[in-house]
Amino acid sequence: MQFMIDAPLDMHLHLREAEMLQLVAPLSAAHFAGAVVMPNLLSPVDSHQKLSAYRQAVVDAAGDDSFTPYMTLFFRPYTKTELETVRDHIIGIKLYPAGITTQSEAGVADFEAIGETVALMEELQIPLLVHGESNGFVMEREREFLAIYRWLAKSFPRLPIIMEHITTADTLDILDEFPNVAATVTLHHLMLTLDDVVGGLMQPHLFCKPIAKTPHDLQALQTAVFSGHPRILFGSDSAPHPTHAKECCGCAAGVFSAPVALPKLVELFAAEDRLDMLADFVTNNAQRFYGISPGPKTVHLQSKAWTVPQAYGTVRPFLAGEKIQWQVTAIEK
């Protein structure tokens, strides 16, 4: 059996910097026509100068693949002039609560102080991408953040808002309440519950933020994705860390899924007899919501098993050592 998909997009991707960027960028560029690149570097991407430099580094690392990096700025108070200057060079601005995940220490500590910048973003139609977690109990952080999502959606009804890497059933309710809100869902959150992470021995390479939740939440996400919700987009949240940073005390949060994301998604959708919905999830919904048109790239896959390598350089991938029943066989650019 064969399957092909035009211009697949990854709407939430961590490419890091320096040697890690060189390692992982080609792996995403190989299968995807474009990706939304996260700005939480050691020195956050929060200026036009940093943005231009990082975009060039991503383009150089991706090589000659037909791949568009959709760049983001790290949320901070911006002037209208600053936003007007970068508006045509970014797909959105990424908001992190302070300290909530990797390299987010410079994130938002006081949500009552963000209104002026968010209002400017609404005026200029710059999407707001949000890591939606509180600093509360780890299993309740996303649910506790729902009040902020509702406040943003009601207060700024013309602002495109993207709830990143959602994990809970009740977060899906926001999509039904507000037409200006979309969400990304990861591959690993379509497959895992907390039991997979810590039910037996701790599995550090499955540990991420937000953490995988309950079977009820997993079922709700799967139902929404496989039924073709028009404002749910694929975002891998592929987040590489070297093995020594995962297999240690203070395990870094992140699942590195870039090399396996597309073939595993095809396997999951085929198993549900919903391959007809996959194009919406991995390309069409994103193009409609963001108003983007990625360059030409057609990925051909075949139902032929392959074994995921144990490592790509210094990084252990999601599903390492396991068999995936579909593989990429050709790419047209």
How many Å apart are CA 26 and CA 63, to the nearest integer?
Answer: 7
- Determine which one of 195, 237, 273, 280 is catalytic: 237
Q: What residues pair up with 35 in beta bridges, in sequence order?
A: 10, 69
Q: How far apart are CA 195 and CA 190, in angstroms?
A: 14
Q: Return the residue matching tokens 């590489």.
A: 240
Tokens of 154: 């009601």
Residue with tokens 């060189």: 22
Nearest Cα to Cα of residue 301 among 269, 264, 326 = 326
3-state secondary structure the chain: CEEEEECCEEEEECCCCHHHHHHHHHHHHHHCCEEEECCCCCCCCCCHHHHHHHHHHHHHHHCCCCCEEEEEEECCCCCHHHHHHHHHHCCEEEECECCCCCCCCCCECCHHHCHHHHHHHHHHCCCEEECCCCCCCCCCHHHHHHHHHHHHHHHCCCCCEEECCCCCHHHHHHHHHCCCEEEEECCHHHCCCHHHHHCCCCCHHHCCCCCCCCHHHHHHHHHHHHCCCCCEEECCCECCCCHHHHCCCCCCCCECCCCCHHHHHHHHHHHCCCHHHHHHHHHHHHHHHHCCCCCCCEEEEECCCEECCCCECCECCCCCCCEECCEEEEEEC
Residue 265 one-letter amino acid: L
Rounded CA-CA distance 252/243 in Å is 10
Which tokens in the block code for residue 285?
């919904």
Return the structure tokens found at 224.
């929404």
Would you call 46 a catalytic residue per the annotation?
A: no
Active site residues: 237
